[in-house]
Structure 1
Amino acid sequence: MKRNYDDSNSTLSHANSSSNKAPRHQYDANPASVAQHYNDRPDVGVVKRKESRIIRLRSFNNWVKSVLIHRYVRPRQNVFDMGCGKGGDLIKWAKARIQHLVAADIANVSLEQMRKRYETLRDRTFSAEFHAMDCYSELIAPKLDRNMRFDTVSMQFCLHYAFENEHKARIMLQNVSSQLRSGGYFIGTMPDANWIVKRVREEPVGSFGFGNSIYSITFDDIKDQDGTKTGFTPFGCKYMFHLVDAVDCPEYLVHWRTFENLAAEYGLKLKFKENFHDFYASASKEEEHARLLNRIGVIGGQAPEMTEEEWEAAGIYLAFAFEKR
C-alpha cells in the first residue's frame, strides 16, 4: 500500500547539502550486526569526545534530551530507558532525581559500560537494573517485579530499528505500554522520515543519497519512476546512515502516521512532535532552556556555534512525547 511521507508541518532549509554519489550497496541489517556495531564502538571518554568534529551536534542532541526529561520527568519516578546504549543519559536521570531506572539494550557490551558508569556516579541517588535484551523481539515485563510500573519510558535515537517490520514495532510498543501507568509519558527522539524523504526526492534522477562532510544517507531499494522517487514502504524501508564519530550502520524510516496509529492501539496519545530545528526555535525561547544551551556549549560561551553542516544534520531528527491513556 502506498503511503504519503509528505505530512510534515515543517519547512526546513538544507544549507550546503551535497549528493552522495557513492555506489549503491546491500548492507547487513541483522539486529545482531547492529548490536555488534555499537558494541565495537569504543567508550573514548570525555576528553576524546570533545575533539570530535560533531561535538556541537552531540551537545545539541543532549540539550534536546535534557529539555524532554525536564518537561516530562518528575522526582521519585520510575523510568524505563529502552535502548539505553552506553548510558549517556545517566547524569540526566540523576539530575531529574528519579527513584528507579530500568535500562535495556541489545548491545551487551554497551550495557555493561553503562552499568560501570552507574556504579561510579557521584550523585547515585536512584536504584537501577540492567537487562541485555532485544526489546523489539522480547518482552520486558517477565523480567521485572510484577508490581513495577513506569512513570516514563524513554527511547533516544533507537526507535527506528523497530520499524524493520510490523511485528517488531508492535513488540516495541507493547514494551512501552504494558508497564506504563495511566498518565505516564513515552518520550523520545528519532530520525524524521518526512525530512529524509523530502531531501532525497530533491536529488537528481539516479541519485539515491545525500549528505555533507559529516553525514550521509543512502537508500538501496527505492527507485525513480516518472520523475519521482518511490518505494518508501511503511516498514522495512532501509537506508545506510553514516555520521562521523557516531554511527555507520543501516536504519529504517519510521512512517509517522503508521507509528501514531499503532501507538494509539496501545493506549498512547500524541502530545507533541517537532523536528529538531523547530524544537530549537520554540524551546530556546524559554529562559531555563536557553541558559542550558549556553552552559553545555551549543551556543555562546567560549567556543563557536554549531557549524552549518552540524545544523543541517540536526534536521534529520525529531522529538516526540505520547501520554498513556
Structure 2
Amino acid sequence: MKRGFEHQDQPNKAQRPRYDSTPSSVAQHYNERPDVGAVKRKESKIIRLRSFNNWVKSVLIHRYVRPNQNVFDMGCGKGGDLIKWAKARIHHLVAADIADVSLEQMQSRYKTLRDRSFTAEFYAMDCYQELIAPKLRPDLQFDTVSMQFCLHYAFENEKKARIMLQNVSSRLRSGGMFIGTMPDSNWIVKRVRQEPPRSFGFGNSIYSITFDDIQDTDDDRKKIGFSTYGCKYMFHLVDAVDCPEYLVHWPTFERLAGEYGLKLKFKENFHDFYTSASKEEEHSRLLSRIGVIGGQAPEMTEEEWEAAGIYLAFAFEKK
C-alpha cells in the first residue's frame, strides 16, 4: 500500500537539499547505470512496472509506426527499444543521447540484433543544446520521432525546450508523428498538494518525488511555486532512476509544439492508457507476451501501479 511522506520526516524549505541537474550530471547518472542484461532485469523489484512501461511504448509504436519508415529516437539511452524498432520493420534509425557510454551500449546491442533488418546511425549529443539536422544527410526525413521518458529534461528553460522541439520538427515530414512518454505534471502537482503542510514530497517503497523550490502559502492550505520552466524535483525509482527532473507545464508544451508545426492527436495518463488500450485484442494479448501479467514473477503490486500513474503518453502530428 502507498506510504506517504509523513510531516515530521520532511525538511523545511531552508533545510531541503538542492540538486545538481546539469547536463553532465544527468549524463553521468545514466552512464553509470550498468547494463545488467535481461536475466538480471527479471530479478528487479519493479519488473512488472518495467514490463508495463515497455507495453505502453510497444502500443505507441504499433499505433503510429509503419514498415520501411525512418525513425529518430531522441534520448535513446541504452537502446531498450531496438527490438521494438526491429519488430516494426523500420527502414532506418537515427539514435541520439547525451550519455555516451549508454549510446555505446546501444550500438553494441544493435550489432548483435538477430533481426537487424534496418540501418542505423548514432550520435552522442545533447539534443536540448545542439541541432541534429547539420549532422544528417540533406535528404533524410523522419516519419516518426520518439522521445521515451526523457522530454522533461528539456524543460529546465525555454531555450532548451525550443531546441528540443526544433530537433523534433525540422526533419519530420508533413503527416509524420511525434510520440513519447513523460511524467504527468498535472498528476504530480495534484499529488504533492494532497500532502500535509510543509511536506514537499511523496512516494512509497519503490519511488519518491521531492521538490526543492515550492512552498506553502501563508495559510498552509496550498502549495505554490510550480514554475513554467525550471520546476525541479528529485525523482527516485528503485533499480531505474535517481536524479533531478523538471515538470513539463503541459499548456506551455502544447503551445510551443504548435509553433513548430506539431498538433496534438493523443494524450493519456498511463492508468487511462491501460484502460483504453487493453480493450483492444492485440494489445491485450501483448500484456502477457511482454510480461505485464502471467509468468513466474509476482503480480504487479499496488505500489508499482501507483508509480505507473506518474507518467503519460502522447502523440503529435506534423502539419
For the aligned pair, the TM-score class normalised by the smaller chain equals over 0.9
The AA in structure 2 aligned to 1:83 is: G
Aligned equivalent of 1:16: 2
| Superposition RMSD in Å | 0.9
Which of the residues 160, 178, 189 maps onto 2:181? 189
Aligned equivalent of 1:233: 227
SS in structure 1 at match of 2:216: strand
Following superposition, the deviation at residue 304 of structure 1 comes to 3.2
Alignment check: 8 A CA contact 1:79 1:102 kept: yes
Which of the residues 255, 278, 284 maps onto 2:278? 284
The AA in structure 2 aligned to 1:155 is: M
Aligned equivalent of 2:125: 133
Following superposition, the deviation at residue 169 of structure 1 comes to 0.1
SS in structure 2 at match of 1:18: coil
- The answer to whether structure 1 residue 219 and structure 2 residue 219 are counterparts is no
Aligned equivalent of 2:311: 317
Aligned equivalent of 2:200: 208
SS in structure 2 at match of 1:84: coil
d(CA) in 2 for partners of 1:219, 1:74? 40
Q: Deviations along 1:288-319, whole A, 9 cap, x unmatched?
A: 00100011221234443210000000000000
The AA in structure 1 aligned to 2:74 is: M
Aligned equivalent of 1:300: 294
Aligned equivalent of 2:172: 180
Alignment check: 8 A CA contact 1:239 1:252 kept: yes
- The answer to whether structure 1 residue 33 and structure 2 residue 25 are counterparts is yes
d(CA) in 2 for partners of 1:295, 1:133? 34
Alignment check: 8 A CA contact 2:234 2:242 kept: yes
Alignment check: 8 A CA contact 2:10 2:200 kept: no
Where do 1:39-188 residues align within 5 Å? 39-188=31-180
Alignment check: 8 A CA contact 1:234 1:258 kept: yes
SS in structure 1 at match of 2:117: coil
Following superposition, the deviation at residue 181 of structure 1 comes to 0.1
Alignment check: 8 A CA contact 1:17 1:312 kept: no
Alignment check: 8 A CA contact 1:283 1:289 kept: yes
Alignment check: 8 A CA contact 1:295 1:301 kept: no
d(CA) in 2 for partners of 1:301, 1:113? 28
d(CA) in 1 for partners of 2:104, 2:295? 35
Alignment check: 8 A CA contact 1:80 1:154 kept: yes
Aligned identity (percent) is: 83
The AA in structure 2 aligned to 1:311 is: W
d(CA) in 2 for partners of 1:207, 1:22? 6
- The alignment of Structure 1 onto Structure 2 pairs a total of residues equal to 311
d(CA) in 1 for partners of 2:183, 2:226? 15
After alignment, is 234-243 or 23-32 more displaced? Answer: 23-32
Unaligned runs of at least 5 residues, structure 1: 1-14
The AA in structure 2 aligned to 1:309 is: E
The AA in structure 2 aligned to 1:264 is: G
Unaligned runs of at least 5 residues, structure 2: none
Aligned equivalent of 1:265: 259
Return the TM-score normalized by structure 1: 0.94
Return the TM-score normalized by structure 2: 0.96
Aligned equivalent of 1:252: 246
